[in-house]
């Protein structure tokens, strides 16, 4: 399957009846801070609470009918998305999850019908467990990000935003495995889409280092609060981003928390740390574009309250 804008358009046509066309919101306070119009694509309000639903359902709908069980590894959102997508077409799902994944994300996987298989916290632990299970079952592996159907499905969020607001000249997205970044970048592969800018935590800077060195770099230890961005950059995504000379802005943990607080307090939107990374990068770098898009990638964060007398 070739990676072109047309594939993203086909993916959108394929998945439309399964996913939400998420709303786009703005904040006068943020506009004033940046001196431009900032339009937030609210994928935190998507099915399963994240953009991952798009790629997962696109991948599952593209499978032959002979596939009855799907499997993946995920720290949470892709796992929940695949479990949900499999349930839409009566398939079983096995999700390999690191032991340090957020409880709320594990709970979501189970609630959507996924069977959780525990593994260690490192990406190598996930891959080892995946190999073991694939040898023992007839499950079909659906990668979390390094797959054409996943990439094109994720790109539909950016395509919807461009269709609704064609005046957007610059689009900020988070980058971990790179599916959303690469899928969004495909819209500009022939110069007819917004310029994509990625933001990545400094504590998970493998994508930044990969593009800088011209070679895929291993993921760093999983320390960033943006747990959805701890994965290593996929090879297909690396090739797309490198060919388009995509810029990545690194952000510190304090900036991520500050941006998340800004979104919560000013826009009254619940987003997870990974979703706040693009705004953190945009605030740090600034922009000359009159209209900027930001994809809020997910909202799966646990709310804890302490009641005292």
- pLDDT over 70 at 306, yes or no: no
| Range 61-95 burial, b when 16+ CB lie within 10 A, else e | bbbeeebeebbbbbbbbbbbbbbbbbeeeebbbbb
Q: Is 171 in contact with 197 (CB distance < 8 Å)?
A: yes
Same domain, 155 and 275: yes
Residue 27 structural domain: 5-51+148-296
Average pLDDT for 65-71: 96
pLDDT tens column, 120-130: 988 789 899 99
- pLDDT over 80 at 304, yes or no: no
- pLDDT over 80 at 75, yes or no: no
Residue that terminates a domain, selected from 91, 114, 141: 141
Q: Could you tell me if residue 307 is inside a domain?
A: no
Catalytic option among 27, 41, 47, 52: 52
Same domain, 118 and 255: no
pLDDT tens column, 250-295: 999 999 999 999 999 999 999 999 999 999 999 999 999 999 999 9
Same domain, 178 and 249: yes
Same domain, 72 and 46: no
- Quote the mean pLDDT of the chain: 94
Higher pLDDT, 275 or 144: 275
pLDDT reported for residue 230: 87
Q: Could you tell me if residue 301 is inside a domain?
A: no
Q: Is 115 in contact with 94 (CB distance < 8 Å)?
A: yes
Catalytic status, residue 52: yes
pLDDT reported for residue 67: 96
Same domain, 127 and 250: no
Q: How far is CA 119 from CA 16, 77, 122, in A?
A: 34, 16, 9
Q: Could you tell me if residue 308 is inside a domain?
A: no
Task: Quickly state the pLDDT bin for 305 (edges 50, 70, 90).
Answer: low
Higher pLDDT, 190 or 7: 7
Catalytic option among 27, 74, 75, 210: 75
Same domain, 217 and 285: yes
Return the CA Rg of the chain.
18
Q: Is 104 in contact with 110 (CB distance < 8 Å)?
A: no
What is the percentage of the chain residues whose pLDDT exceeds 70?
Answer: 96
Residue that terminates a domain, selected from 90, 107, 141: 141
Catalytic status, residue 243: no
Same domain, 193 and 257: yes
Q: Could you tell me if residue 309 is inside a domain?
A: no
Residue that terminates a domain, selected from 141, 164, 189: 141
What is d(CA 83, CA 172) in angstroms, rounded to the nearest whole number?
28
Same domain, 185 and 36: yes
Same domain, 35 and 161: yes
Q: Could you tell me if residue 231 is inside a domain?
A: yes
Structural domain total, the chain: 2
Same domain, 21 and 163: yes
What is d(CA 206, CA 81) in angstroms, rounded to the nearest whole number?
24
* 262 SS3 class: helix
Q: Could you tell me if residue 225 is inside a domain?
A: yes
Average pLDDT for 147-176: 97
């Amino acid at each position: 399957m070739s990676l072109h804008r047309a594939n993203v358009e086909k993916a959108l046509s394929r998945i439309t009846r399964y996913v939400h066309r998420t709303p786009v919101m703005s904040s006068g306070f943020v506009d004033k801070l940046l001196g431009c119009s900032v339009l937030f694509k609210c994928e935190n309000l998507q099915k399963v609470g994240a953009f991952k639903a798009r790629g997962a359902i696109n991948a599952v709908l593209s499978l032959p009918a002979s596939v009855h069980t799907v499997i993946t590894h995920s720290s949470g959102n892709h796992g929940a998305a695949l479990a949900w997508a499999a349930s839409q077409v009566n398939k079983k799902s096995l999700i390999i999850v690191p032991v340090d994944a957020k409880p709320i994300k594990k709970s979501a996987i189970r609630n959507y019908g996924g069977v959780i298989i525990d593994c260690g916290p490192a990406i190598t632990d996930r891959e080892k467990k995946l190999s073991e299970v694939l040898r023992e079952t007839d499950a079909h592996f659906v990668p979390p990000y390094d797959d054409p159907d996943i990439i094109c499905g994720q790109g539909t969020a950016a395509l919807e935003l461009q269709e609704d607001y064609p005046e957007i000249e610059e689009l900020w997205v988070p980058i971990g495995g790179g599916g959303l970044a690469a899928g969004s970048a495909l819209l500009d592969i022939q110069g007819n889409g917004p310029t994509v800018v990625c933001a990545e935590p400094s504590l998970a800077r493998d994508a930044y280092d990969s593009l800088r060195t011209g070679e895929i770099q291993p993921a760093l230890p999983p320390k960033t609060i943006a747990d959805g961005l701890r994965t290593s950059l996929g090879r297909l995504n690396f090739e797309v981003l490198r060919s388009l000379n995509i810029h990545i802005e690194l952000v510190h943990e304090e900036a991520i928390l500050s941006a998340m607080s800004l979104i919560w307090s000013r826009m009254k939107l619940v987003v997870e740390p990974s979703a706040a990374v693009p705004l953190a990068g945009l605030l740090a770098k600034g922009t000359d574009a009159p209209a900027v898009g930001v994809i809020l990638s997910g909202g799966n964060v646990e709310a804890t309250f302490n009641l005292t007398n």
